Amino acid sequence: MSFSHAGIIRRVVLVSLTTVLMLSSSPVCLHAQVPPEVATLAHGAVEKIAKFHPQQILVAPLRGCLLDPEMCHELDTSLRSALESALPAIKIIGQADAVRFLKMHGVPAIDVYVVDALQIAGAEVGSELLVAEDLEWTKKANKVKVEIFDTHKQSKLSESQTSVVRRDPVSDEEPVIYKDPESGVSLIVSKKQESKPKYFPSCQSC
């Protein structure tokens, strides 16, 4: 879809992509304990990962996580802790590694939230699996997900999810916008389910 005028979005949250990347790779002080539903989801995902016997995995968030970065950070923290405890021999690489690969190949860093780009990046850097963290927005809660992909076959192997009530009671349906300061392109994240990412400015030649 082409966005010819930014005024079609009445109210958005505009945040630098650099800030989000820093949040995903740096320890932060969480406001509260990790919700038990999230911890259970993470441990269940690790059990599924173990069945594939990978030597290296890429763990990274998808664009839905931009709707509630704190909750996805809690999922990421729980997932990595469970992995390190149950599968200490597995090498874990993250979003920053995928960004470096994408930029080396001329792909904007903002595409690091797109599953197809992550699968390609994961395969090229030697990860057998992509463990993708994602989130769906509903009026009263978040559906938090962990999806496991075979990076070489580019196929989904498993998906688990749980519903978690948000601490922030805001339930409006306005989109969230995250801007890549390097390319100037913004990723428009809708709270309604959409199969393809939307960008502004849109790509007229794709």
Residue whose token pair is 């989130």: 135
Q: Which residues of the chain have pLDDT under 70?
A: 1-32, 169-171, 202-206
Predicted pLDDT of residue 28: 41
Query: H helices within the chain, ranges in order?
Result: 17-25, 36-50, 69-86, 95-104, 115-124
Predicted pLDDT of residue 139: 82
Which phi and psi angles does 145 have, rounded to 5°?
-125, 150
Closest CA to 57 of 149, 154, 112, 129: 129
d(CA 78, CA 37): 11
Closest CA to 59 of 148, 156, 132, 159: 132
Predicted pLDDT of residue 73: 96
Closest CA to 96 of 26, 36, 151, 49: 26
How is residue 186 annotated by DSSP? Answer: E
Write out the two tokens for 74. Answer: 């809690």
d(CA 96, CA 63): 15
Single-letter amino acid code for the residue at 145: K
pTM metric for this prediction = 0.81
